[in-house]
Amino acid sequence: MNWIGKIVRFLFWLLIVSWSVALLKRLVAWMVREATRSEQKNEQMAGAGADNGNEQSGLTARRLVRDPVCGMHVAEALAIPLRDGGELLHFCSVECRDRYAKDAQRLAANA
């Protein structure tokens, strides 16, 4: 009779451990899901709805562009664009854009 008690006790603890593992998995999945929701919410608030059509499974792909003045890399959605002679340039700030435009005017005046 002692071995039946050991088997029942083993099955009881096996059931408790399996439920604990299942509960832990659900908890981790919930935490990851909430973290991605809050991250997406923050991105939406910061981006103010900037969508470039690269939606894949709920995540937005971001393309980085390089500022030609200071060399800083900026997300294309956040960059300040300027079309110069058919070429689209992206800048990190209005100051960099103005400095580029000023230098371009100076070069055009000397030519």
pLDDT, tens digit, 9 for 90 and up, residues 58-85:
556 688 999 999 999 999 888 999 988 8
Neighbours of 67 (CB within 10 A): 19
pTM: 0.43
In whole angstroms, how large is the CA radius of gyration of the chain? 28
Per-residue tokens: 40? 């997406």
Per-residue confidence (pLDDT) for residue 107, from 0 to 100: 66
What is the reported pLDDT for 62?
A: 80
How does residue 13 score in pLDDT terms, banded at 50, 70 and 90? very high
Instruction: State residue 58's pLDDT score.
Output: 52
CA angle 30, 57, 75 (to 5 degrees): 105
Least Cα distance to 99 among 107, 110, 87, 109 occurs for: 107
For residue 39, what pLDDT is reported? 77
Three-state SS at 17:
helix
Average pLDDT of the residues in 19-31: 94
Q: What percent of the chain has pLDDT over 70?
A: 79
Which two three-digit tokens encode residue 51? 């969508």
pLDDT for 48: 54
If we measure between CA atoms, which residue out of 83, 109, 78 comes closest to residue 93?
A: 78
CB atoms within 10 A of CB 50: 13
